[in-house]
Copies of this chain bind each other. A is one copy, B any other.
């Protein structure tokens, strides 16, 4: 029975390299992974053969044989959102010289989509999973608990981590910025929110708590939509809010895109900022400091969260026990011209 034709595109395999270098296949494998455990002589022959053949390791075969994929699965709710773009940048930078790869999945703010993606990713036997927020479905939590790999929830903290967590309290963020507005002398402080995902909801809760403490809360001050955030949406929501409450003297925006839209609308309508209207955003995009007037916001350590999430994952992959399972990064209120009255 003659050997069948090779299925793979005829690309060189580890056996080809071994033959050419005059060694066993396993020695080639070792030379590639742990060069120190192979004698210098053989290593050089092998390197030469690899170069001549243009050999490229088949990651699928490696993953199958070693039952782990050197892949970190990452689930974020959006790729368009600057916030998660920064997180992902931090994740990449956190990889450093490890041979880990990042596989990014976009949940589109849907728990069900997260479940679906998780199924797919788990099928790759990732070395770790990083995912956003703390509102996973019961099924997702079950999948992750059974996956047997480190899991890092990011951008938020809570009391019941699947495994590890790093982020900050969105309730406290919302509360801090709202208190600042109150202290600045504003009294009719509106909340403008888009998307209204769980983190936005919690920012709203912080806003409400702060206003209630001060006896200033009024439901009509809250203007939200589930539509995705954008600058133009900021303009629209602000118009709506002003129509509802003509005495509005400040707005806390769910995020910075909205705040910029509000600022442009104030400029257009000749509403003085911060004199007539105070504006505060959330996340502190780079633009906020450059805007005229510059816009108050809550600086969230997105990039850092990304870096440290990978560091936590790498430590756990290496078998280390985390010092703390839940890491609170905090946030920083950036007071600027838009609320300086």
Q: Interface residues, chain A, CB within 8 Å of chain B?
A: 7-9, 54, 56-61, 63-64, 67, 69, 79-80, 82, 85-86, 88-89, 92, 101-104, 106, 119-120, 122-125, 146, 148, 230-232, 234-235, 257, 260-261, 264-265, 267-268, 286-287, 289-292
Contact = CB atoms under 8 A, between A and B. Distances in A.
Contacts of A264: 290-292
B232 A286 contact: yes
Given A231-B287, A235-B290, A290-B235, A61 B64 contact: yes
15 contacts: A8-B67, A8-B125, A59-B123, A60-B60, A60-B61, A60-B63, A60-B69, A60-B124, A61-B64, A80-B85, A82-B82, A89-B106, A103-B103, A104-B104, A261-B290
Given A64-B64, A104-B104, A290 B231 contact: yes
Nearest to A103: B103
Contacts of A286: 230-232
A221 B23 CA distance: 63
A132 to B, nearest CB: 15
Given A58-B64, A79-B92, A232-B287, 17 more contacts: A8-B67, A9-B67, A54-B146, A58-B125, A59-B120, A60-B64, A60-B125, A80-B89, A89-B106, A103-B103, A104-B104, A230-B286, A232-B286, A232-B289, A260-B287, A260-B290, A265-B290
Contacts of A291: 264
B123 A58 contact: yes
Contacts of A88: 79
A69 B101 CA distance: 16
Given A64-B64, A67-B7, A59 B292 contact: no
A59 B61 CA distance: 11
A124 B85 contact: no
